[in-house]
Structure 1
Amino acid sequence: MGIFVISTVVFLYYTIWILIMPFVDTTHPVQNIFPSREWAIKMPVILLLSAAAIIGSFLGIVMVRS
């Protein structure tokens, strides 16, 4: 249940950050809660590349041992 709640909160945060915040004035105090929009692309790319590297390393180690 905890993983479901955390993933829902992260999804809602990211969705608000990407879909709603571009329409809010840049001087509004709510903008301080969110990082700059360039990180909206950088973070998922970094996470996907890291996950691919970890999975690839795991598969490589398993193949070498067998």
Structure 2
Amino acid sequence: MATSLDQTLGMGLVTLAGVIFTYYTVWVILLPFADNDNMIQQFFLPRIYAIIIPFIAGLALLTFLGVFITIVMVKKKKTK
């Protein structure tokens, strides 16, 4: 059974993910169709960051996974 703190934290994480997804979707899919002098453009980063941020996040994730798997394999080999 999940406690109320777990449920609150889970709902907060789901909400945060939804907000990030909505922001990124508007930024990448809808914003290119808006004029450059449109007021909504000031709420978004330059478009180059739409490529750089996910690339760096993916690279960090793959690095973390690689290091984690390496550590687990080394520890497992030491125990044998």
Match of 1:44, SS state, is helix
Distance 2:71 2:21 in 1: 33
- Consecutive unaligned residues of structure 1, counting only runs of 5 or more, are none
Structure 2 gaps of 5+ residues are 1-10
Runs of 4+ aligned residues of structure 1 deviating over 2 Å after TM superposition are none
**Matched letter for residue 18 of structure 1:** V
Q: Which has the higher contact order (CA 8 A, sep 6+)?
A: 1
Q: Deviations over 1:14-42 (max 9, x none)?
A: 00001111111101221111011111111
Match of 2:46 in 1: 36
Equivalent residue number for residue 26 of structure 1? 36
TM-score (normalised: structure 2) = 0.79
Instruction: Give percent identity, aligned residues only.
Output: 38
Match of 2:67 among 44, 57, 61: 57
Larger radius of gyration: 2
Q: Is 1:8 the equivalent of 2:18? A: yes
Q: Number of residue pairs matched?
A: 66
1:47 is matched with which residue: 34, 47, 57? 57
